[in-house]
């Protein structure tokens, strides 16, 4: 039976699985992300362990990876992790290395484009062809489908670094982004919350002023995404959204900030669905890598 491999390479851990859908997962494993040689060797071992099993016919592998990635098929470094600040991982040929070692095709996209593909296939964005996934964790990233296809363009979106209005009156914090100071990630990531308040978000009480600021910055980010991409739905995931009260507060503030300007039923009366939590929880990325393998294999 045809089966597919999926790999999500994150900053701290790497997830692997073999299967065909969330309801048909044959095997899965998680390893810590260390240096590329050690980490990718574990991934290869995981897949090799199953390759000679009679009920596994691994056709392709999908990879959803932290970036930046080279996604230009005409480039010599296609499929590489390129100029990442992550030590040791600069110019790592993840897709090529796994494909060669396992002797099957490997397809790669960003972790957030993976997440949006996973949510589109099996999650909160089913059949929604213009879809955005924002993750708010240690960093902030965003992926998008346009007409059902992952958005790449020049490189790929880096939504976490957009500029938004800084609430200087309530928030003298200068921002935590080493590149841009008070860009979105510098204001609203888990890292920013911890640097601003001296405590992790999960240790802050529900009535802490941190959350009103968090909502203000994330609502602006969604407003900008809505005005620039015009998606049909926005899914927000990531560790910071573990405080699930944020969803309702963000929905309210997005409507306030748009001030009726985008006259769409989905926003005016359907905002509860328009801004959604992930349907696949923390599995959006690795299941998106699976969807990527299946989609690209079927197009061959």
CA atoms within 13 A on the CB side of 137: 15
CB of 133 to a copy of itself, least distance (A): 13
From CA 179, how far away is CA 80, in angstroms rounded? 22
Applying CB under 8 A, which of residues 41, 155, 249, 271 lies at the interface with a copy of itself? Answer: 155
From CA 286, how far away is CA 260, in angstroms rounded? 37
The answer to the question of residue 271 lying near a copy of itself (CB under 8 A) is: no
Residue with tokens 């203000």: 216
The answer to the question of residue 73 lying near a copy of itself (CB under 8 A) is: no
C-beta of 16 vs 225, nearer to a copy of itself:
225
Return the range that interacts with a copy of itself (CB under 8 A); candidates 3-11, 46-54, 95-103, 225-233: 225-233
Three-state DSSP class for 231?
coil
DSSP of 118-186, one letter per residue?
Answer: HHHHHSTTTT-SSEEEEEESSSEEEEEEETTEE--TTS---GGG------TTT------BTTTBSSHHH
User: Any idea what DSSP says for residue 71?
Assistant: -
CB of 199 to a copy of itself, least distance (A): 27
CB of 131 to a copy of itself, least distance (A): 9
Torsion of CA 53, 55, 57, 58, to 10 degrees: -70
From CA 272, how far away is CA 132, in angstroms rounded? 15
Applying CB under 8 A, which of residues 8, 109, 111, 182 lies at the interface with a copy of itself? Answer: 182
From CA 175, how far away is CA 184, in angstroms rounded? 9
Distance of CA 213 to the CA centre of its chain: 22
Q: How many residues bind a copy of itself (CB under 8 A)?
A: 48
CB of 216 to a copy of itself, least distance (A): 10
The answer to the question of residue 151 lying near a copy of itself (CB under 8 A) is: yes
The answer to the question of residue 275 lying near a copy of itself (CB under 8 A) is: no
Binding to a copy of itself, residues 2-61 (CB under 8 A): none
CB of 9 to a copy of itself, least distance (A): 19
The answer to the question of residue 198 lying near a copy of itself (CB under 8 A) is: no
The answer to the question of residue 220 lying near a copy of itself (CB under 8 A) is: yes
- For residue 206, with 0-12 CB atoms within 10 Å meaning exposed, 13-18 middle and 19 or more buried, which class applies? exposed
x-or-dash string of contact with a copy of itself, 249-268, rule CB under 8 A = --------x-xxxxxx-xx-
Phi, psi (deg, nearest 5) at residue 163 = -85, 140
C-beta of 99 vs 189, nearer to a copy of itself:
189
x-or-dash string of contact with a copy of itself, 113-132, rule CB under 8 A = -----------------x--
CB of 49 to a copy of itself, least distance (A): 36
The answer to the question of residue 277 lying near a copy of itself (CB under 8 A) is: no
**Do the Cβ atoms of 278 and 284 come closer than 8 Å?**
yes
C-beta of 267 vs 292, nearer to a copy of itself:
267
Torsion of CA 179, 13, 110, 291, to 10 degrees: -160
Residues that bind a copy of itself (CB under 8 A): 68, 82-83, 130, 142, 146-147, 149, 151-166, 168, 179-180, 182, 220, 223-232, 257, 259-264, 266-267
């Amino acid at each position: 039976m045809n089966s597919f491999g999926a790999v999500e390479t994150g900053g701290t851990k790497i997830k692997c699985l073999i299967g065909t859908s969330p309801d048909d997962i044959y095997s899965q494993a998680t390893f810590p992300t260390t240096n590329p040689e050690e980490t990718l060797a574990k991934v290869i071992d995981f897949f090799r362990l199953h390759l000679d099993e009679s009920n596994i016919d691994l056709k392709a592998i999908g990879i959803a990876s932290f970036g930046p990635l080279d996604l230009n098929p005409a480039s010599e470094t296609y499929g590489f992790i390129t100029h990442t600040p992550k030590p040791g991982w600069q110019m790592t040929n993840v897709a090529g290395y796994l494909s060669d070692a396992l002797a099957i095709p490997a397809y790669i996209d960003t972790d957030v484009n993976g997440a949006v593909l996973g949510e589109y296939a099996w999650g909160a964005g089913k059949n929604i062809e213009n879809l955005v996934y924002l993750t708010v964790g240690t960093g902030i990233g965003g992926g998008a489908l346009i007409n059902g296809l992952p958005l790449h363009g020049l490189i790929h979106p880096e939504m976490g670094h957009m500029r938004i209005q800084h609430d200087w009156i309530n928030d003298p914090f200068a921002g935590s982004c080493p590149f841009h100071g008070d860009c979105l990630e510098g204001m609203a990531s888990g890292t920013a919350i911890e640097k601003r308040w001296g405590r992790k978000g999960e240790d802050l009480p529900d009535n802490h002023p941190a959350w009103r600021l968090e909502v203000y910055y994330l609502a602006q980010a969604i407003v900008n995404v809505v005005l620039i991409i015009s998606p049909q739905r926005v899914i927000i995931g990531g560790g910071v959204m573990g405080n699930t009260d944020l969803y309702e507060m963000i929905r309210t503030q997005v409507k306030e900030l748009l001030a009726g300007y985008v006259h769409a039923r989905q926003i005016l009366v359907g905002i509860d669905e328009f801004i959604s939590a992930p349907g696949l929880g923390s599995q959006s990325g690795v299941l998106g890598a699976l969807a990527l393998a299946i989609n690209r294999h079927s197009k061959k």
